[in-house]
Structure 1
């Protein structure tokens, strides 16, 4: 027995797991009206979205970044390339890319274009920006926190007057105002027909972040140094102005960085020139005074020779001292870099290695300053640059120390030579020797003065001829058509959404709906035969809902025909001689009384004597539906109180259709049904009636039906469409396998033969549309259908 049950359960499980493609597709045809509804809604939303949304245009421009590594000659270029291999041309372009996208530059663009104050107005359903077309211009002095949160409305009354928000007070232009938004001056702007506009104040930092999200800077070709800037905006003119101003700000920032070194060098030379000029004047006055006092007009040839030699040696010694001074300034600059120290002039240094190291150090300093303004202190790239700066600083200090040691040796040698020349001068007469000493100081100062003048001119020329490292290739050009919203994509998306939503909704409803929807579900789970199908009553009869009506069996309606078919199918129950039939179900409301009453009426119309017994002793409803009294009935017979003939009533539906109502509700229905009088009563009634139909309580709730089933010929189990849940079908399958009910069959009640249901099952599965009684409710409003679907009614 257990083996049989296990096999049956496995077979049931396999059946439930089968996927029926036709059934899956049919569910969508059943609710076809949802698709046009949601398509119309989706297209309506798409239409209003396109009307409301401002079109966004894309503006592009390209610039060329010049490679700073080009132009270095010979060994210096090679040394610099070797020492800074990590910073090639591509890396330089990437650095400039980040600089262009910096928050600092964008904030400067906003301030110069006054983008933190914007003006909007309504144009139909759309809100348009009045950039450079606003009839008013606001010069904000102070903006309050409230002003950043809420826009300010301005109503223009005439050419000289306006109102704020909903205030009645009239104001004039060119005045200073103080209100909840802040302090500002309002002047007249461009000529415009706009009468009402809103003014939006935006925080510069937040606006810069938002604008940077719409700015993209890319390198189209990795091998080139060309950058492509793209900016998206709803206003074409504003997008062009933003790109132009951004490039202007970037160029000015680059020029400022490049001029800083030349400016520092000029300051250094000017300071040195001031000192040398004063010293040279003093020496010249000493020469003049000595010649006047001593009456010297010329010196001997020997003195002249010594003087020339000393002059040449002093020139060399002076150059050495100058170089040592420059090296000391370099060492001081390296030690105090970042603290306002004056940068030395690299072209005043002869050593190529030191020149390359200083050039690299200055580049790293500029990069560090840029990244410090645009990135966080913990940025890995900033940390890398700091590490390279520390290494370069150490290399420069070591190189400077080595050069200073070499210069010290050279200086000592020159001083020794001067000592020998000085000894030679002692042989010259005292006057001449004194004059040569004074002349020697004059020559030294003149050489140094001329050298500094030359370097100052060179530095001034370099400062005046400084050019930017970038060059504009293409001016900003905006797209002719907006890049978003794209109408074709919006319409296509609306169509897809209009299809997807009802598909998802239908699937969700079917997933959440655990009630019986199809005939196959009953057959798969219960393995019972379906004796008949009863369609859903769509019209009221005698003022009662369709599901509670007594059908006029002489009509040609679809449901009447189905009851006739069910009456015919009764001959296939058991061996064909089943005359006592019990109607039960899993729960209340599945239509036992409706089916039993109308089947009894159909049998009566076929000239059969029919008795309908109400044995639902707990919640009787037959007397209400048939509108007969229920003072006495079956409960009286079961307790032995009177004869059944005294309690049987004619229904008035047909002369051969009688009813035995349940009677008074007893306190012990189960005990009454099992006291032995029920089989005696049925045996006596069999002699008088052709068919005895018993309306019993739901089997899934009480055990009364099981007690009645022992005395009937067949059991008709009512399953209602979209009402009976699947778990109840399993109970029917268990009853069938256990043979608990004799000749168990199923009646599928309340079936909705809408589009997509079945393939034409039985007598009523295909097109009852030609029946007059059904035509009135054939076409329903879409809203009513949707409400019915959601309510699972």
Structure 2
């Protein structure tokens, strides 16, 4: 009997909540629901009105990839994995804070302007009536932002400037009245000059706010609003999305960001070209001096020994030795080039510097040097947006070390080959000299001097050609990225989302009173009829006693 009673009590407690009764109770308090929905809807509308609208500016950027490049065949034939451009890494380079900081400084985005309108600020871009110009201030050294407030009052302007110290306390820099502009505010070992924009004096009828911040902190804020992703799975086209309260500022930012990305890519690509130019200029200067000395010796020898014309035997000697001399000059040049490469690699400071390409005849070594320089350029660019502990950079560094050892082995092999060829040519040259022992001493000595002149002259002409080729390659740098879809916006703000917030306010306005009514029924239950009492207890109901309403005598009148 006791078990049955406990079971009935348990079932009664499980069925204690009456959905119909709860629904009827909510209907009886319909005014609560209407008031709750109206209050929350008004609050959401007020919130949306105070927020500055944010727009999305989108653009499509094409990034050149080196897929299909046959320059890596040599490394692949040696069993090494060829390192190709990783577009994922290019995305990180494009949105790196260093790149964004350069754009911020180029567009002066570290200085923001806004009207202090009713309940919110209206941002300005290229339309401010008064601009702030920095004079002898290193903006990157700013520790805290400077906020300037210009308020018109009875034909004059009340000027107020505040910043914060290292402890975070607010510090007043300036608080004065200005009749007209320009006006200078001393700040951070320099001045901030406030002046009118344009040739005519613009109207300033509202409070103007000017904020000056460190470009690095501004770039961090911009990076959070910048999204770069693939437009499709297999394409190298990137979709760039930037959220900003001013559409024109977003369009200028994306265009300038791509320009700086191309400048950085060209700078990295031309590093090897710069080193080559320096080497060629140094060698040309040295050879020019040697050539002047040799030509002076020829002139002095002719004048001292009265040599006006070369005898037929000397001409024959020159013709026979001309080919040998040219070959010796070429071999000497190749030896000089490989010696320079070996010396360049032996300097610790050049561990991650590109090897100048100077026209080494050996195609395999030239390809190895080209791949080595490409890997160094890729590693340098990745380090702008990551650290040396990144797995991609670690793997690339290991490949670079392998390529470096291959280059050194190639240099040693070429040097040995050059030495063997030089010995063979010297032996042939000696045979020719033995055949012309009857050449007069003067002519023989003159030909020796002229041989040195030809070697120097050939080397000088060769370096001049290489300098022109190097300058042409430097001037023909193709941009890595180009915009194929100009930055644009739909003109509809993406934040705040008014419809979504209003729907959430209506839903919350319905749920909040319902939850209060539910808690009231749960914590303070009221017995309203016989059925509710039967649900709450297993004790049978014997009778119901009616309650007399008010002061009436009869409970039931009809």
Partner residue of 2:83?
A: 87
CA deviations over 1:622-670 (Å, ceiling 9, x no partner): xxxxxxxxxxxxxxxxxxxxxxxxxxxxxxxxxxxxxxxxxxxxxxxxx
Q: Is the 8 A contact 2:352 2:376 kept in 1?
A: no
Partner residue of 1:277?
A: 288
Deviation at 1:490, TM superposition (A): 2.7
Partner residue of 2:260?
A: 249
Q: Is the 8 A contact 1:133 1:192 kept in 2?
A: no
Partner residue of 2:110?
A: 116
Unaligned runs of 5+ in 1: 538-550, 565-769, 771-793
Q: Distance in 1 between matches of 2:190 and 2:506?
A: 48
Q: Is the 8 A contact 2:5 2:538 kept in 1?
A: no
Partner residue of 1:482?
A: 493
Q: Distance in 1 between matches of 2:450 and 2:460?
A: 15
Partner residue of 1:28?
A: 26
The verdict on how the C-alpha distance between 1:309 and 1:34 changes in structure 2, with shifts beyond 3 A counting, is farther
Partner residue of 2:160?
A: 164
Q: Distance in 2 between matches of 1:52 and 1:268?
A: 63
Local SS of the residue matching 1:532: coil
Match status 1:291 vs 2:294: no
Q: Distance in 2 between matches of 1:45 and 1:127?
A: 19
Q: How many residues align?
A: 537
Local SS of the residue matching 1:132: coil
Match status 1:240 vs 2:239: no
Residue in structure 1 matching 2:126, options 127, 132, 140: 132
Local SS of the residue matching 1:33: helix
Partner residue of 1:532?
A: 544
Partner residue of 2:60?
A: 62
Deviation at 1:172, TM superposition (A): 4.2
Deviation at 1:52, TM superposition (A): 1.4
Deviation at 1:330, TM superposition (A): 1.9
Deviation at 1:139, TM superposition (A): 2.1
CA deviations over 1:56-86 (Å, ceiling 9, x no partner): 11112222223356676xxx46336767755
Deviation at 1:387, TM superposition (A): 2.2
Q: Distance in 1 between matches of 2:380 and 2:441?
A: 62
Deviation at 1:451, TM superposition (A): 1.1
Q: Is the 8 A contact 1:142 1:184 kept in 2?
A: no
Local SS of the residue matching 1:206: helix
CA RMSD of aligned residues (A): 3.3
Q: Is the 8 A contact 1:280 1:442 kept in 2?
A: yes
The verdict on how the C-alpha distance between 1:28 and 1:82 changes in structure 2, with shifts beyond 3 A counting, is farther
Deviation at 1:137, TM superposition (A): 1.0
Q: Is the 8 A contact 1:121 1:198 kept in 2?
A: yes
Deviation at 1:46, TM superposition (A): 2.0
Deviation at 1:48, TM superposition (A): 0.9
Q: Is the 8 A contact 2:228 2:239 kept in 1?
A: yes
Partner residue of 2:170?
A: none
Q: Distance in 1 between matches of 2:235 and 2:394?
A: 27
Deviation at 1:40, TM superposition (A): 0.5
Deviation at 1:108, TM superposition (A): 0.8
Partner residue of 2:9?
A: 12
Q: Is the 8 A contact 2:372 2:403 kept in 1?
A: yes
Local SS of the residue matching 1:138: strand
Unaligned runs of 5+ in 2: 162-173
The verdict on how the C-alpha distance between 1:100 and 1:406 changes in structure 2, with shifts beyond 3 A counting, is same
Partner residue of 2:167?
A: none
Partner residue of 1:304?
A: 315
Partner residue of 2:396?
A: 385
Q: Distance in 2 between matches of 1:437 and 1:501?
A: 107
Q: Is the 8 A contact 1:265 1:342 kept in 2?
A: no
The verdict on how the C-alpha distance between 1:210 and 1:167 changes in structure 2, with shifts beyond 3 A counting, is closer
Match status 1:155 vs 2:151: yes
Higher relative contact order (CA 8 A, sep 6+): 2
Match status 1:37 vs 2:49: no
Q: Is the 8 A contact 2:111 2:212 kept in 1?
A: yes
Deviation at 1:319, TM superposition (A): 1.5
Q: Is the 8 A contact 1:105 1:249 kept in 2?
A: yes
Which has the higher mean CA deviation after the structures are superposed, 32-41 or 514-523?
514-523
How high is the TM-score relative to the length of structure 2? 0.86
Partner residue of 2:98?
A: 104
CA deviations over 1:16-35 (Å, ceiling 9, x no partner): 22365434544433443332
Local SS of the residue matching 1:463: helix
How high is the TM-score relative to the length of structure 1? 0.62
Q: Is the 8 A contact 2:142 2:213 kept in 1?
A: no
Deviation at 1:372, TM superposition (A): 1.9
Match status 1:221 vs 2:229: no
CA deviations over 1:477-520 (Å, ceiling 9, x no partner): 12222222233323222222222333344444455x16455654
Residue in structure 1 matching 2:215, options 198, 204, 229: 204
Local SS of the residue matching 2:209: strand
Partner residue of 2:195?
A: 187
Local SS of the residue matching 2:303: helix
Residue in structure 1 matching 2:455, options 439, 444, 454: 444
The verdict on how the C-alpha distance between 1:53 and 1:403 changes in structure 2, with shifts beyond 3 A counting, is same
Larger radius of gyration: 1
Deviation at 1:95, TM superposition (A): 2.8
Partner residue of 1:552?
A: 551
The verdict on how the C-alpha distance between 1:101 and 1:328 changes in structure 2, with shifts beyond 3 A counting, is same
